[in-house]
Each structure stands twice: as structure tokens, then as C-alpha cells.
Chains A and B, each alone.
Chain A
Amino acid sequence: GNSVTQMEGPVTLSEEAFLTINCTYTATGYPSLFWYVQYPGEGLQLLLKATKADDKGSNKGFEATYRKETTSFHLEKGSVQVSDSAVYFCALRISGGYNKLIFGAGTRLAVHP
């Protein structure tokens, strides 16, 4: 079946540290891959996406590269800020489906000054 596995949190970092949140997937066909973010008290928001192998999605200093050979889509940021504290969800969408998303369990990030 189709599934997404994320590293367990919480991840606790100091400001300006390097961030990696691992995400791997299992899917039939050729999925599109996404990172969504949920800031405290807010709804889920799309952070970035990649629709085919070797694509790199980027937004707000975050990046993730679609690696078909390792079935991964790890989220990275070179220098985190306190305002990046949130829960991050990796998700996939199967091409040919109805646009529904399959999510990982989420990883909570806490950044301290």
C-alpha cells in the first residue's frame, strides 16, 4: 500500500542550527510529494512540493529533493529560527487518484533562542 514514514519528534534545536527531518515513502506509480506545516494555533499550510524525481521544492529557506532511488523527501533548512517552531507533515499524492493526500505522523520542531 501507499504510506509515509517520518522521523519521530520532537526535534529540539537552537536558533541558527541546521535542520533535517527525514521522510521516506512507499507508493505505487509516481507520486507527488509534499511538506505541510502547522504553526501553533493555525491550520495546515502547504510548505513545498515536488512532482517528479529529482525535483527540488523550496520555500521560506526550506528545501526538499525528491529522491526516487531512496524513496525519500527529506526536509532541510540551513539556519532555523524560533518562528519555525511547528509540526511538519510529509505527504504524498498518487497520480491518477482523486488528489487525496497520504500523510506521515508529523514531526514537532521546537527552536530555542
Chain B
Amino acid sequence: GAGVSQSPSNKVTEKGKDVELRCDPISGHTALYWYRQRLGQGLEFLIYFQGNSAPDKSGLPSDRFSAERTGESVSTLTIQRTQQEDSAVYLCASSLEGTSGRHYNEQFFGPGTRLTVL
């Protein structure tokens, strides 16, 4: 498949547990983004990777959230000591290099991981 894939598609966990969410971007896409969507709200930006560095982490809501990326490939978003307010759909997107100019490299989104914290 040529699209962005995410796993698992659904995750139910207990409050206080750690979770890992995985994103496989489109091959050749150097830019990778994580967003989350809480019920009834728009997508919130979490973090942006260019290659394996993260020049913009401004959306991570607390130090319980972290992410890493292996080269220009897989990324993992980790949430430690999950809380009920972490329940959301976590979306990953990838694009050709993220730029600061007027040109927009289209972001392609994965299907998301629905996280439910009980």
C-alpha cells in the first residue's frame, strides 16, 4: 500500500498505563506530523518531524507525551501515565519536505488510532 498507515486502529487502556502509537509514512516523505482530535473538536497539532529531528514540538500537551522517528521512516508517539483526557483519535500525516515558503507540500493522512482511556 502506498498510503500512511497507523497501528493499532483502536486502543483501550486503563488510566495510568503507558501506550505507544505507531505511524508508517509514505515512502520518500521526509516530513511527518502528529495531530489529535478529541470528540467534537478540530485536529490539534502535536509535533512535526523533518527526518528524525523534531523542530516543532510546540503542540505536545505535557511531558507525558513524547515521540521519536527512525530516520525518514516509522514514528512512535508515546503517552505515559495515560489520563482520561488523553482519549482521542491520534492522526499521523506525512509529506514531502515541510517548507517555510508559500509552496505547500500536501499532507497525506493515515486512518488514525482511536485511544480510549478508562
Q: Enumerate chain A interface residues (CB-CB to B < 8 A).
A: 4, 6, 32, 36, 42-46, 49, 51-52, 89, 91, 93, 95-106
Contacts and interface: CB of A to CB of B under 8 A. Distances in A.
Contact of A97 (B93, B95, B100, B111): B100
Given A32-B104, A99-B31, A99-B104, A43 B111 contact: yes
B interface secondary structure, majority: loop
Contacts, number: 72
Given A43-B112, A99-B95, A99-B105, A4 B42 contact: yes
Contacts of B99: 99
Contacts of B45: 100-102
A104 B35 CA distance: 13
Nearest to A44: B109
B41 A105 contact: yes
B21 interface: no
A104 B31 CA distance: 22
Contacts of B56: 97-98, 100
Nearest to B96: A99
Contacts of A101: 33, 35, 43, 45, 107
A93 B48 CA distance: 13
